[in-house]
Amino acid sequence: MTKTYGRVHALDQVDLDIRSGEFLTLLGPSGSGKTTLLMVLAGFTRPDSGSLKFGDTEVIRMPPHRRDLGMVFQNYALFPHMTVAGNIAYPLRLRGIGRAEREARVVRALETVQLGGYGGRRIDQLSGGQRQRVALARAIVFEPRILLMDEPLSALDKKLRDRMQIELRHLHEQLGMTTVYVTHDQREALTMSDRIAVIDHGRLMQLGAPREIYDRPANRFVADFIGESAFLPVRRKGAEILCAGRPLATESPAPEGEKLLAILRPERLQLLDGSVPPEINAFPATVSELVYQGDSFLMAARLEDGTELTLRDVVRRDTFAELPGPGSAVTLGLHARDTVLIPDDGAGAAP
């Protein structure tokens, strides 16, 4: 599907197959089209062109209330004058479900989100995390076939957000509902998802399981947006891959084309010392900075060609003081199995 607003391509020929029962996350920077895609799924936005099917049924003209969707937004959108139970019962009331059945379902939904006994509370007597769970209970109480969530945790503080990520994941395992989740937070996406759809400028950049997305990014945008990366230009020459004139060992298949980039992640680099086995690519460098961060340290080092690399490793007791400081010559190593190549598409860095 495609959706434009003036000259902005909010969705640019997005083609996506969501599996029944999966937890799929739409991940991308602000303005990349995530909410637009969710609104198209929900039926609040009509794309300029394209098709949307639930199973074999075309639903592009189906109004939102007939699509059987539960929705949770960033700002909860609860009714402040109603009790917790009143809020959760609301979608059941809309569907004409009788009182006894309503009450039983509300109790069950409250237990599912671990708010048993909170039915009589007013919304303004709840914390942010509790309100978010009420919003979730309201979205699942009528057992929709699809659950849509748009940055539902972004208003919560970090500790609560971390806990809610795990809770939402458990809830998904328990209910098995097809879930489409929107976030701009890559760690959140990696933590929660069966699969991640990475979006930029309305285009689908990669679709895959968290480890595929992280370990085998398809292009520079994905490698840069998810995790940290430095990029080194490499060239294909016959069967060989050359980096600064020297052969580069890699266990991953190289993409098409002559001009490629090697991805260097801080946590995959290691500090070499002594002889270098053939499965390790060695990069001579000069340390420019060494930073202590408690559980880990960061070492920034410059290669001969000026490329800045960063290495991160855990701090083991008493060893930090022995690490080479600024100005020291070091050799950084990257194992062949961690040496991943992407096409050099000439695109700049992600924002």
- Taking CB under 5 A as the criterion, which residues in 189-218 touch Mg ion? none
Residue 132 within binding range of Mg ion, rule CB under 5 A: no
Q: CB under 5 to 8 A by kind: which of Mg ion, ligand ADP, none does 36 bind?
A: ligand ADP
Stretch in the footprint of ligand ADP (CB under 6 A) among 26-34, 167-175, 301-309, 334-342? 26-34
| Cα 302 to Cα 305: distance, rounded to the nearest angstrom | 8
In degrees, rounded to 5, the angle at the alpha carbon of residue 256 between the alpha carbons of residues 255 and 258 is 105
What are the tokens at 175? 């209910």
Among 25, 32, 35, 310, binds Mg ion (CB under 5 A): 35
Q: CB under 5 to 8 A by kind: which of Mg ion, ligand ADP, none does 31 bind?
A: ligand ADP
Whichever of 35 and 179 has its CB closer to Mg ion, that residue is: 35
Whichever of 35 and 206 has its CB closer to Mg ion, that residue is: 35
| Cα 281 to Cα 21: distance, rounded to the nearest angstrom | 42
| Cα 36 to Cα 9: distance, rounded to the nearest angstrom | 10
Helix (H) or strand (E) holding 222: helix 220-225
Other Cβ atoms closer than 10 A to 1: 20
Assess contact for 260 and 346: CB atoms under 8 A: no
Shortest Å distance, C-beta 26 to ligand ADP: 8
Whichever of 36 and 87 has its CB closer to ligand ADP, that residue is: 36
Other Cβ atoms closer than 10 A to 277: 11
Q: CB under 5 to 8 A by kind: which of ligand ADP, Mg ion, none does 130 bind?
A: none
Tell me the three state secondary structure of residue 43.
coil
| Cα 296 to Cα 318: distance, rounded to the nearest angstrom | 13
Q: CB under 5 to 8 A by kind: which of Mg ion, ligand ADP, none does 8 bind?
A: ligand ADP
Q: CB under 5 to 8 A by kind: which of ligand ADP, Mg ion, none does 28 bind?
A: ligand ADP
What are the tokens at 317? 């007791």
Whichever of 35 and 87 has its CB closer to ligand ADP, that residue is: 35
| Cα 276 to Cα 117: distance, rounded to the nearest angstrom | 63
Residue 5 within binding range of ligand ADP, rule CB under 6 A: yes
Shortest Å distance, C-beta 42 to ligand ADP: 12
Residue 152 within binding range of ligand ADP, rule CB under 6 A: no
Q: CB under 5 to 8 A by kind: which of Mg ion, ligand ADP, none does 30 bind?
A: ligand ADP
| Cα 8 to Cα 125: distance, rounded to the nearest angstrom | 42
Q: CB under 5 to 8 A by kind: which of ligand ADP, Mg ion, none does 10 bind?
A: ligand ADP
- Taking CB under 6 A as the criterion, which residues in 28-57 touch ligand ADP? 28, 30-36
Assess contact for 136 and 84: CB atoms under 8 A: no
Residue 88 is which amino acid? Answer: I
Buried b / exposed e over 28-44, threshold 16 CB at 10 Å, is beeebbbbbbbbbbbbe
The residue written with tokens 């978010």 in the block is: 132
Q: CB under 5 to 8 A by kind: which of ligand ADP, Mg ion, none does 220 bind?
A: none
Residue 183 within binding range of ligand ADP, rule CB under 6 A: no
Stretch in the footprint of Mg ion (CB under 5 A) among 17-25, 31-39, 51-59, 273-281? 31-39
Other Cβ atoms closer than 10 A to 317: 5
Binding residues with ligand ADP: total (CB under 6 A): 11
Question: Which residues of the shown chain bind Mg ion in the complex (CB under 5 A)?
Answer: 35
Question: Which residues of the shown chain bind ligand ADP in the complex (CB under 6 A)?
Answer: 5, 8, 10, 28, 30-36
